Amino acid sequence: MNIYVINGPNINLLGTREPEIYGHETLDSISKECINLGSKDGHDVKFMQSNYEGELVEWIQDAINKKIDAIVINAAAYTHSSIAIHDALKSFPGFKIELHISNPHLRETFRHISFISPAVDAVVAGLGADGYSHVIELLADLQKSYK
């Protein structure tokens, strides 16, 4: 299974940005853990992060062109504003998971609306940085059940 993990704006600041909400783990440590977890099951996990909406859209389109099996997306603030990312995800035929480190429904009301949720198969929120590794394990289990 080939998996893209796409991260949006400010996720590169994990470990220092509001650790009371997002924890102390860095994106680099989360990435390494997920890549290692995936490789144990023979999966290729590619981590990406950008502060630019168009780049996230291009990565989703790249996933379509390369026939990637699954996308895990933490669109961060673009979750609440990007119709472009929504539309790109709707075009992706593989499995799609929206991921949030915190639970947006327990935060400011503007974070309660997701333009991403209607375009994905599942949403994982509020598990902290561990949510990433749980999702990679989930995708490995899903693939095993479909063999």
For domain 2-146, the CATH class is alpha beta
Annotated catalytic residue, options 43, 86, 100, 132? 100
Residue 140 three-state SS: helix
Return the residue matching tokens 């780049």.
55
Inter-residue contact 139 to 3 (CB < 8 Å):
yes
Annotated catalytic residue, options 4, 22, 78, 132? 22
CA separation for the pair 25, 130 (Å, rounded):
9
**Between β-strands 70-74 and 44-49, what pairing exists: parallel, antiparallel or unpaired?**
unpaired
Q: What are φ and ψ of residue 36, in 5° steps?
A: -65, -45
CA separation for the pair 26, 16 (Å, rounded):
8
Determine whether 4 is an active site residue: no
pTM of the predicted protein model = 0.90
Inter-residue contact 122 to 97 (CB < 8 Å):
yes
pLDDT at position 18: 63
pLDDT at position 95: 96
Inter-residue contact 56 to 75 (CB < 8 Å):
yes
pLDDT at position 19: 59
Determine whether 22 is an active site residue: yes
Length of the chain: 147
pLDDT at position 108: 64
pLDDT means per 10 residues, the chain with 147 residues, are 96 74 78 94 94 98 98 95 97 97 72 88 93 92 64
pLDDT at position 13: 83
pLDDT at position 14: 74
pLDDT at position 145: 61
